[in-house]
Chain A
Amino acid sequence: MIINENMIILDLEAKDKESAILELAKQALKEDKITSVDDFAKSVFEREKTYTTGVGNGIAIPHGKSDAVKEAMIVFGKSSHGIEWESLDGKPVNIIFLLGVPDKNVSDIHLKILSQLSRKLMNDEFVERLKMADAKDDVLEALSDINIE
């Protein structure tokens, strides 16, 4: 599974971008999706340096490609207080999808799921559903809409 209920954090403690990425990455480690929080986070931070993954509308999609990732995965986090992310629209972020992809041998199916998710994030209705979600099931249900053609 690319995501499961243990990879959803509905109330992130982190107050800034770096600690939010670490908090989500730790969850991925617990679920055995990555081999090292530090190594994976490094690839995500490197990516952030190129330009922000705060795509506006309160959403950020930090992501990294690293050999510390065992299989493609999504960790979802929500923050009630909003996190500064140098977003394209300057607004703080409440919804975070941390995406991880292995360096090699990534299945196309997983990449397609990630690409579908990215596309969905341009859909206001989908984003609203995620913002309203107050249970893990709501998040999983919203994500279950993602179809692999």
Chain B
Amino acid sequence: MKIVAVTACPTGIAHTYMAAEALEKAAKQLGHNIKVETQGSIGIENKISQKEADEADLVIFAADVAVKEESRFKDKPIYKVEAQKAIKNAKAVVEEAIKLAEQK
């Protein structure tokens, strides 16, 4: 599956990046293609383009604050969790998100 994800946290110093790393690892382990955009203190990095958003099968938000430019993902299945859930068990987050996408 083609997954795109956005991570964000209140201070944007640590959890944003830990969640991104965890999701990238988990998705790859499970054999999926993933691109993770971080919205942290540095600003938006590894930005997901509208084209990439359109081509994605599934969107994951691992964020504790509002995701910027959420309109890119309208009409897509979005699985939303707290950033710390992705840090704790990214594999479960990816698996749950895939279930959501398959239902739609």
The number of chain B residues with a CB under 8 A from chain A is 21
Name which of A101, A114, A119 has the most chain B CB atoms within 10 A of its CB: A119
Is A88 a contact of B13 with CB atoms below 8 Å?
no
Q: How many residues of A contact B (CB 8 A)?
A: 27
> Shortest distance in angstroms between A40's beta carbon and chain B's nearest beta carbon?
13
**Which residues does chain A contribute within 8 Å of B21, judged by CB atoms?**
118-119, 122-123
Task: Provide the B25-65 mask, 1 if CB < 8 A to any CB of A, else 0.
Answer: 10000000000001011100000000000000000000010
Task: Check A115–B87 contact: CB distance below 8 A.
Answer: no
- A53 interface residue per 8 A CB criterion: yes
Partner of A88, one of B10, B38, B40, B88: B88
> Is the beta-carbon distance between B42 and A115 smaller than 8 angstroms?
yes
B90 to chain A, nearest CB (A): 9
- Report if B98 contacts A (CB, 8 A): no
A residues less than 8 Å from B13 (CB atoms): 63, 65, 99, 101, 111, 114-115, 118
Q: Which of A96-149 contact B (CB under 8 A)?
A: 99, 101, 106, 108, 111-112, 114-116, 118-119, 121-123
Contacts of A88 in B (CB 8 A): 84, 87-88
Residue in B10, B41, B87, B88 whose CB lies within 8 Å of A111: B41
CB neighbours (8 Å) of A82 from chain B are none
Sample of 17 more A-B contacts, CB < 8 Å, known A51-B64, A51-B82, A101-B13:
A50-B64, A51-B84, A55-B18, A55-B84, A55-B87, A63-B13, A65-B41, A111-B40, A112-B42, A114-B13, A114-B14, A114-B41, A116-B17, A118-B21, A119-B20, A122-B18, A122-B21
Chain B residues within CB distance 8 Å of chain A:
10-11, 13-18, 20-22, 25, 38, 40-42, 64, 82, 84, 87-88
- Can you report 7 A-B residue pairs in the complex whose CB atoms are below 8 A from each other? A55-B87, A88-B84, A88-B88, A99-B14, A118-B13, A118-B16, A119-B20
